[in-house]
Amino acid sequence: MIPLVWGMDKTTECSWYGDKYKGRPMASRVKFDPAKPYIASWDYPFGTWLQLEYGTNKVMGVVMDRGPARRLYHKGRKLDISKSLFKKLVGDLDVGVVNVKYRKVTIR
C-alpha cells in the first residue's frame, strides 16, 4: 500500500473504543475487531482511509463505523478509533481523549 495524501489537515478530539464492542456489527455491517485499524466518523463514507497524527506518531485507519456519539460530535469530537489504532498512535490507553491531526488519504 502506498498512501497518497489527499486532504488538508484537520484537528479534532479523538478517543478509542475496544473490547466491549468486539464482534458487534458496526454501521458498515462488518463485525468490530479492536485489533483492526477501524475509525468511526460521521463525515466520511465507509472505506475512506485517514492518516492520523499525534506528536511525531502517524497511523492510518479506515472508516467502517459511525460515531462518536452525537452529543460528543456536536461538541467537536469528530473521530473514535479502535483500541489498537489508539495504542499505536498515542501509546497510553489511560489517556482516553487526545487532540489529533487527520487527513484523507488515497491508497494505491
User: Which residue, 86, 81, 90, is CA-closest to 49?
Assistant: 81
Annotated domain spans of the chain: 3-107
Angstrom distance (rounded) from CA 51 to CA 85: 11
Which residues neighbour 94 within 8 Å (Cβ) at sequence distance 6 or greater? none
CATH topology of domain 3-107: Barwin-like endoglucanases (2.40.40)
Element (H, E) at 87: helix 83-90
State the pLDDT at residue 69: 86
Element (H, E) at 86: helix 83-90
| pLDDT at residue 5 is higher than 80 | no
- Mean pLDDT rounded to a whole number for the chain: 91
The whole model's pTM is what? 0.90
Q: 90: pLDDT confidence band, cut at 50, 70 and 90?
A: very high
* Cα 5 to the center of its chain, rounded Å: 16
| pLDDT at residue 18 is higher than 70 | yes
Strands 38-40 and 57-65: parallel
Question: What's the rounded mean pLDDT across residues 41-52?
Answer: 96
pLDDT digits (tens, 9 = 90+) for 61-83: 999 999 888 888 888 899 999 99
Question: What's the rounded mean pLDDT across residues 16-20?
Answer: 92
Angstrom distance (rounded) from CA 33 to CA 28: 13
Question: What's the rounded mean pLDDT across residues 49-57?
Answer: 95
